């Protein structure tokens, strides 16, 4: 098969890590008989410098015309003082909106070879962890009505959490389908003891799951309890669905439990197979251009693209096996280095993974 992939390398370490992922995809193509065309477009700070806007029209058109999108990372101190709507991160929100991506899927996986990297006690993590957080991405308080005014002589501000049934149902569908392919158990996180929007969330998730996925078990956990359980017993969770703001916070917490931000990928999907695949970390300006970044998160993001956008599950598994094999041999980039392991550069790590794919 042939696939057109839009590549938004972005800023900082973005170009280094996307190069690694492209090398891996080319090797997968050779081994499994696929061809990939990679189409680079500007987004973020590099787009501001070249075109004066973080998300040029050409980038949106190019992404819409591709089969899927691979993103490095955007942002950096150079653009930090620009006004909100001119900043690199505005490009991220814009591209998600333009592609109609309403779900964000973040697997927080602890690889057995990196168990010591977790800040949790060994007995809590030694059997591995994989919490997949499905976060609603374009609704809720980040997009709700907000304002600021003087009330009783002092400044006040507000933001509004609002969800409609169809917004909850479409994210529930993505989470239910994922859970059905795995343990058939879904955890839905809300704050239904306090928030009206959470009460609608809970009711809608249950009704939707009961109607469309009767074999699925849906457990509810309050967000404050969830924050505790992720550090107390993370292995109890598999697929978790939650709102935009709760997902934002919990997915960072779950990522931290795995011990390395450089290992974690994420995908954003909507109604079609055109998705946006990226590492969860940022542009790491402190290490940009030094060939020391960990490219594995971006390589795993490319693997998720093969599985979730193109249905290439064998090819996905081949990349996971290659990463596992390279880690088992003791190769590590600086961020995951530990005693007795061998330090490699960003480009060397990508080459080792390419070589391990057979």
Q: Give me the residues that bind ligand NAD (CB under 6 A), please.
A: 13, 17, 73-76, 89, 92, 261-262, 278, 281-287, 293-294, 297, 335
Mapping DSSP to helix (H, G, I), strand (E, B) and coil, where does residue 62 land?
A: helix
Q: Report, in Å, the least distance between residue 33 CB and ligand NAD.
A: 30
Minimum separation from the CB atom of position 329 to ligand NAD (A): 19
Does the annotation count 208 as an active-site position?
no
Write out the two tokens for 273: 């197979």
Written as one string, the DSSP assignment of 206-251 is HHHHHHH-TT-EEEEEEHHHHHHHHHH-GGG-SEEEE-HHHHHHHH
Q: Is 335 tagged catalytic?
A: no
**Least distance CB 109 / ligand NAD (angstroms):** 15
CB-nearer residue toward ligand NAD: 131 or 287: 287
Return all residues near 225 (Cβ < 8 A) that are at least 6 apart: none
Report the alpha-carbon distance of residue 86 to residue 303 in Å, rounded: 32
**Does residue 224 have an active-site annotation?**
yes
**Residue-by-residue DSSP string for 79-96:** GTTS-GGGSHHHHHHHHH
Residue 74 CB, nearest approach to ligand NAD (Å): 4
**Whole-number Å distance between alpha carbons of 263 and 303:** 13
Residue ranges of E strands in 179-336: 185-190, 217-222, 239-242, 265-269, 276-279, 331-332
Q: Can 32 be counted among the known catalytic residues? A: no
19 is catalytic: no
Beta strand ranges found along 11-162 (DSSP E): 35-40, 68-73, 103-110, 129-136, 146-151, 154-159
255-271 in b/e form (b: 16+ CB < 10 A) is bbbbbbbbbbbbbbbbe
Name every residue whose Cβ is closer than 8 Å to that of residue 282 and which is 6 or more positions away in sequence: 12, 73, 74, 75
Q: Catalytic pick from 80, 224, 271, 328?
A: 224
Distance separating alpha carbons of residues 262 and 332, to the nearest angstrom: 11
Nearer residue to ligand NAD within complex by CB, 204 or 244: 244
Give whichever of 74 and 354 is closer to ligand NAD, judged by the CB atom.
74
Nearer to ligand NAD, 139 or 262 (CB): 262
The CB-of-176 to ligand NAD minimum distance in angstroms stands at: 26
Q: Which of 4, 220, 238, 252 is catalytic?
A: 252
The number of residues making up the chain comes to 358
Complex with ligand NAD: residue 94 or 285, whichever CB lies closer: 285
State in angstroms the smallest separation of the CB of 73 from ligand NAD.
Answer: 4
The catalytic residue among 4, 97, 142, 184 is: 142
Nearer to ligand NAD, 131 or 264 (CB): 264
Residue of 3, 102, 191, 316 with catalytic role: 191
Positions marked active-site:
142, 191, 224, 248, 252
């Amino acid at each position: 098969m042939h696939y057109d992939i839009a590549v938004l390398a972005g800023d900082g370490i973005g170009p280094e890590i996307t190069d690694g992922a492209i090398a891996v995809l080319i090797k997968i193509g050779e081994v499994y008989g696929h061809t990939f065309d990679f189409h680079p477009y500007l987004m973020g700070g590099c787009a501001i410098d070249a075109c004066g806007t973080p998300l040029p029209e050409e980038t949106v058109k190019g992404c819409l015309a591709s089969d899927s999108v691979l993103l490095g990372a955007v942002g950096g101190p150079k653009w930090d003082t620009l006004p909100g709507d001119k900043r690199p991160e505005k490009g991220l929100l814009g591209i998600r909106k333009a592609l109609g991506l309403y779900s964000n899927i973040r697997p927080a996986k602890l690889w057995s070879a990196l168990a010591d990297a977790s800040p949790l006690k060994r007995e809590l993590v030694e059997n591995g962890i994989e919490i997949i957080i499905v976060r609603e991405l374009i609704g809720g308080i980040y997009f709700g009505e907000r304002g600021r005014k003087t009330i009783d002589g002092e400044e006040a501000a507000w933001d509004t959490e609002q969800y409609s049934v169809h917004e909850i149902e479409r994210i529930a569908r993505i989470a239910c389908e994922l859970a059905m392919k795995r343990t058939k158990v879904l955890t839905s996180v809300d704050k239904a003891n306090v928030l009206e929007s959470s009460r609608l969330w809970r009711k809608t998730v249950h009704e939707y799951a009961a109607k469309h996925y009767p074999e699925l078990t849906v457990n509810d956990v309050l967000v404050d309890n969830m924050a505790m359980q992720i550090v107390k017993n993370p292995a109890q969770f598999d697929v978790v669905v939650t709102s935009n703001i709760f997902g934002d916070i919990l997915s960072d917490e779950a990522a931290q439990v795995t011990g390395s931000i450089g290992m974690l990928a994420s995908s954003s999907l909507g109604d079609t197979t055109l998705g946006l695949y990226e590492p969860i970390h940022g542009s790491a300006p402190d290490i940009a251009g030094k060939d020391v970044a960990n490219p594995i998160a971006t390589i795993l993001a490319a693997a998720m693209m093969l599985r979730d956008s193109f249905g290439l599950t064998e090819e996905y598994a081949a990349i996971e096996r290659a990463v596992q094999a390279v880690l088992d041999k003791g190769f590590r980039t600086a961020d995951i280095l530990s005693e007795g392991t061998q330090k490699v550069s960003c480009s060397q790590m990508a080459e080792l993974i390419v070589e391990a794919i057979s």
